[in-house]
A and B are shown apart, each in its own frame.
Chain A
Amino acid sequence: MGITVALLVGVLVATGFFLLLGRSLLRQIIGLTLLSHAANVAILLAAGLRGRAPILGEAPGPLTDPLPQALILTAIVISFGVTAFLLALGYRMHLFRGNDSHEQ
């Protein structure tokens, strides 16, 4: 199973960087969002892919590591906040420059 999740990380990194290297600001923000997905999925790999959800008293068996999940949970919300901030910044820049491609 790890190989498919690792492949997902690789594709997310590649597409994220590809968009980040482009001209359009909105596409760069899309790229950053893809990169944060990649980071989150990679952290989940550190939790291991075996074991059940880390909630006590449901079914027997080993629990998967809850710590990476707690890290990802807050990372998701923070990257949402940063994305929103970048979008606002992009719009502000567009007001001044007249286009969203931030070339000099």
Chain B
Amino acid sequence: MLGAVLADDLILLCAFWELTSLASFFLIGYRHDTAEARAAATQALIVTAVGGVAMLAGFVLLAQAGGSWQISALVGKAAQIVAGGLAALVLASRVMSLHQVLTWASTGLAYDRLYEEALRGAKRLTDVYLTGRARDYYAYIVLFAVVLLGYGIASTGIIIPPSVGGVEPGPLISVAIAIIAALAAARLGLLVAAILALGVTGYSVSVVYLLLSAPDIAITQAVVETVSLILFLVALTALARAESGYQPRPVSDAALAVAAGGISIILAGMIEAVSGLPRISEQFIARAGEAGGKNIVNLIVVDFRGWDTMGEIGVLAIAALGILALAPWRRLHPPAAHGPRRGSRDAPRVPPPAEAPMTSVILRTIATVASPIIIAYAVLLWATGHYGPGGGFVAGLMFAAAIVLRAEAFGIGRLNRRWDLLIVAGLLLAAGSAAVPLAVGAPLLKHTLVEIGGRTFASSLIFDLGVFCLVAGAALAAVCSLSEAA
């Protein structure tokens, strides 16, 4: 509220305004266990959000008329704006009186008429357009994008074909495998086969990255693929009873998908043409020495563009904490006879099933030997990220993979730890190391080089340790929560 009063920028004012509507949403829905409070809160949110959008539209008009987004600057031009606004008002009233849409006998009546008309219109729209099925909405979006992009390409006639020369056998083979696997993932009827095909796609995309001079994203993709393959298989176990088998699909779906793919090939050619333009990265490469490293990709992530990374690990933390919030499955699991009972908090907790470790001696032996090595390698990847492929993101994921491997071998109960604390610790570590430079008057996230025992260390290593902890915690929270469901 204070921000809304003090903001001098129209966009900022709008942002603060939306924050207050969010706050009022939570306030109205305080007693969230009653359906009325939830309905009232939703209604309030919809009303204020629609009002907020209208206000934003008004601000855009205001800024157009006044030529500035600063309220202080706009006040000076008040006369000009008021004149513009009056003109618009006069015009609007003329239009209304011409059409005689509403009877202006009383405001209440007018409101009722308007409301009825809006309802009738919405109903008509609903029947044709709003089917209530998410996949129809996806189809609209894809169709809209295809038509718009297709029209754009056709009307301008600008097509930049992708480069044809320089095809090497290595990338060609991995691209071919990725294409075949992606087609298999789309067409295979057996869900577990589709998931494995997705894994093959991910690993071959990782090989494509490696062969196209991008080792950092290649190892990250490979480790992410491993952990998400586990997640998908665990989710499959949890959802196995729900899967209704492969159903035939209408030709229109395939046609739409092929059209989108075709447009994407044309766009990919245009994207490739961008690589010939002057690049902003030259200064990153030139200033790598200042940041104390050689691996430019890692330097961008933890140092040059640290703010972006801060936001991204924030997103990851929110996603992981969201999973943990969704996770107490057993409390929510409805008894079959009673049907779903939403939000019943007093349901007795079913004790977890007895741990049944996998009987495979081979897996247990491998896990015993391999997981310490993987953890050590993860730490190494974090520590040397400045100099070679690595860094906090891939290191955290690799650490999580090692823990999951142990859990697979010795019983999933070993995963049951407070991973939320690791996530929060990582976030605090990253945010804390970002804030330390403020104490000496330097900007946020300004990293320095520290000399300890004749060796130089970059302070961004601490920031990267925060990333490490957060990513590891997030991945483990996800695997832990979903395997609890399985």
A-side residues, CB < 8 A to B, are: 1-31, 33-34, 37-38, 40-57, 63-67, 69-70, 72-74, 76-78, 80-85, 87-92, 94-96, 98-104
Contacts and interface: CB of A to CB of B under 8 A. Distances in A.
B118 interface: no
Interface stretch (B53-61, B72-80, B109-117, B239-247): B239-247
Given A4-B172, A65-B279, A102 B194 contact: no
Contact of A53 (B215, B227, B257, B340): B215
25 contacts: A6-B269, A7-B179, A8-B205, A9-B265, A15-B185, A17-B142, A20-B135, A21-B138, A26-B232, A29-B232, A30-B232, A31-B186, A34-B201, A47-B275, A49-B212, A50-B166, A54-B213, A65-B275, A69-B214, A69-B216, A74-B301, A81-B474, A83-B231, A91-B235, A94-B242
Contact of B482 (A4, A5, A13, A87): A87
B389 interface: yes
B357 interface: no
B164 interface: yes
Q: Is the interface of B mostly helix, strand, loop or mixed?
A: helix
Contacts of A74: 301, 308-309, 312, 393
B421 interface: no
A29 B234 CA distance: 14
Nearest to A30: B198
Given A11-B179, A45-B275, A69-B216, A78 B312 contact: yes
Contacts of A78: 312, 315-316, 319
Given A14-B261, A91-B485, A76 B272 contact: no
Contacts of B96: none
Contacts of B316: 77-78, 81
B217 A77 contact: no
B134 to A, nearest CB: 6
Given A64-B214, A84-B319, A21 B168 contact: no
B212 A44 contact: yes
B300 A46 contact: no
A33 B182 CA distance: 10
A42 B391 CA distance: 23
Contact of A10 (B198, B231, B249, B261): B261
B272 A49 contact: yes
Nearest to B242: A100
Given A12-B182, A67-B279, A81-B316, A21 B342 contact: no
Contacts of B466: none
Contacts of A80: 224, 227-228, 397, 475
A47 to B, nearest CB: 6
Contacts of A29: 232
A99 B138 contact: no
Residue among B232, B235, B333, B474 having the largest count of chain A Cβ atoms under 10 Å: B235
Interface in B196-243: 198, 201-202, 205, 208-209, 212-217, 220-221, 224, 227-228, 231-232, 235-236, 238-239, 242-243
B284 A66 contact: yes
A97 B279 CA distance: 51
Contact of A21 (B135, B172, B213): B135
Contact of A17 (B191, B256, B284, B333): B256
A49 B342 contact: no
A55 B294 contact: yes
B328 to A, nearest CB: 10
B297 A54 contact: yes
Interface string B100-136: 0000000000000000000000000000000011110
Contact of B244 (A4, A21, A73, A99): A99
A37 B202 contact: yes
Interface string B273-312: 0111001110011001000001111001100010011001
Contacts of B389: 53, 55
B404 interface: no
Interface string B361-388: 0000000000000000000000000011
A72 B214 contact: yes
B164 A73 contact: no
A64 B213 contact: yes
Contacts of A14: 186, 257-258, 260-262, 264
A66 B297 contact: yes
B179 A56 contact: no
A91 to B, nearest CB: 5
Contacts of B142: 17, 20-21
Interface in B421-444: none
Contacts of A27: 191, 194
Given A88-B327, A100-B243, A49 B166 contact: yes
Given A23-B244, A87-B231, 6 more contacts: A10-B265, A10-B268, A52-B213, A72-B209, A88-B478, A88-B485
B284 A67 contact: yes
B481 interface: yes
Given A12-B182, A47-B275, A95 B334 contact: yes
Given A5-B208, A15-B257, A102-B134, A70 B301 contact: yes
Contacts of B166: 1, 49-50
A18 B194 CA distance: 13
Nearest to B146: A17
